[in-house]
Structure 1
Amino acid sequence: MPLSVGDKLPEIKVKITGDREIALSDFLGRNLVLYFYPKASTPGCTQEGLDFTAAADAFAAANTAILGASRDGLKAQENFKTKQGFSFELVSDKDEALCQLFDVIKLKKMYGKESLGVERSTFLFDTEGVLRHEWRKVSVKGHVDEVLSAAKAL
C-alpha cells in the first residue's frame, strides 16, 4: 500500500552517492524532501536538481534536508551529482524498493510506446518523520519554490 499524507517515514536503507548506505530515519529531527526523477543527466531532471541546489541554503535555513532518487545505478548518480554540482546526495534505487514504497513507477507513453518509468514526484516529511505533503506528476518549473514554501511552513 503506497504512502499517503500522515504516514510515517518508512524504515528502509538506501544506497546514496559517496558510496554510503543510510536509513531514511537518519533524517529524523530535520524535515526531509525526497524527490524522485525519471533519469539522471536528462534535461528536466538536471534542471530540477539545479533548482534544488540553488535553493539549498534556504532549505537548510528551514531545517530541511534534500535527497534525490531514481532507478539509476550508483555510478550514474555519482557522475550526475559531480557534473552538475548538486549540493545534496542522490539515491540509487536500482531494485526499485524505494520507488515501490512511494508508488512512483507508472506506465508512461512516449512516441507511441508504453514503458514503466518513474513519475516525477516529491515528498516532504516533517521533523517527526510524518509525511506532510506530496506532489505527483510534477512539472519542474516553479516546483522547488512550492516545496520550499511548504518546508518553511512546517
Structure 2
Amino acid sequence: MTAIAIGQTIPDFELPATGDKTLSPGDFEGKKLLLYFYPKDNTPGCTQEGQAFRDNIEAFERLNTAILGVSRDSMRMHEGFKCKQNFPFDLLSDQDEQLCQLFDVIKLKNMYGKQVRGIERSSFLFDEKGVLIHEWRKVKVKDHVQDVLHVLQQL
C-alpha cells in the first residue's frame, strides 16, 4: 500500500473520536481539514503542538478549516488529554494504525538508545473536496501552526 500523495483524495476511514463519536472524512465536507499526527498524549512536544492549535482555533475557523489530532493512544487517554488541555477539536484514536499506515507516518525512531516504532510528527491539509493540498513531515513543533496558517492564508 502506498501513502497518500498531494492531489489525491483522502481515503475513507472511520475512527473513534473524543466526545464518544466516530468520525470520517465525510463529516467535514465543505470544510478544509487538517489532520495532524503526533506521537503521544501528555508529552511535552505533543502538548505544546496541541496548545498551539487550540490557541489559534479562531484563525482556523475563519479560514473554514477543521482540525483533528491523531495518535495511537486509547480513547481514555485522549479524553483526559483533551479535557486537561481544553482542546476545541477532536482527537482520533488509531490504535490499530489504520490511518497511520495510510499516511506512512509510522517510522523507526531512536529512543534511549533503542529502535522503536512510533509516529513521526506530520500534518496533512485537505481542501473542501477532500483533496490533499499540502503536507508537512518531520514537523518541529515551534512555528508549525504559523506555517500551516500561512499556507491556508495563501489559498
Question: Is 2:73 the partner of 1:72?
Answer: yes
**Residue correspondences, number:** 154
2-side partners of 1:32 and 1:82: how far apart?
22
Q: State the 1:19 CA deviation.
A: 1.2
Q: Deviations over 1:72-130 (max 9, x none)?
A: 00000000000011110000111110111110000001121001000000000001110
Taking the TM superposition and a 5 Å limit, the aligned residue runs for 1:22-41 are 22-41=23-42
Greater than 3 Å deviation, 4+ residue runs: none
> Counterpart amino acid of 2:58?
D
Q: Is the 8 A contact 1:9 1:25 kept in 2?
A: no
The aligned counterpart of 1:141 is 142
Q: State the 1:148 CA deviation.
A: 1.0
Q: State the 1:25 CA deviation.
A: 2.1
1-side partners of 2:87 and 2:142: how far apart?
18
SS at match of 2:123: strand
Question: Is 2:102 the partner of 1:101?
Answer: yes
The aligned counterpart of 2:21 is 20
Q: State the 1:153 CA deviation.
A: 2.3
Q: Deviations over 1:23-65 (max 9, x none)?
A: 1122121000000000000000000000000110000000000
Could you tell me which runs of 5 or more consecutive residues in structure 2 were left unpaired when the two chains were aligned. none
> Counterpart amino acid of 1:13?
E
Q: TM-score when scaled to structure 2?
A: 0.97
2-side partners of 1:67 and 1:128: how far apart?
17
> Counterpart amino acid of 2:142?
K
Q: Is the 8 A contact 1:14 1:93 kept in 2?
A: yes
Q: State the 1:151 CA deviation.
A: 1.8
The aligned counterpart of 1:125 is 126
Could you tell me which runs of 5 or more consecutive residues in structure 1 were left unpaired when the two chains were aligned. none
Q: State the 1:10 CA deviation.
A: 0.8
Aligned sequence identity (%): 56
Q: State the 1:22 CA deviation.
A: 1.5
Q: Is the 8 A contact 1:14 1:22 kept in 2?
A: yes
Question: Is 2:97 the partner of 1:116?
Answer: no
2-side partners of 1:152 and 1:126: how far apart?
13
SS at match of 2:129: coil
The aligned counterpart of 1:49 is 50
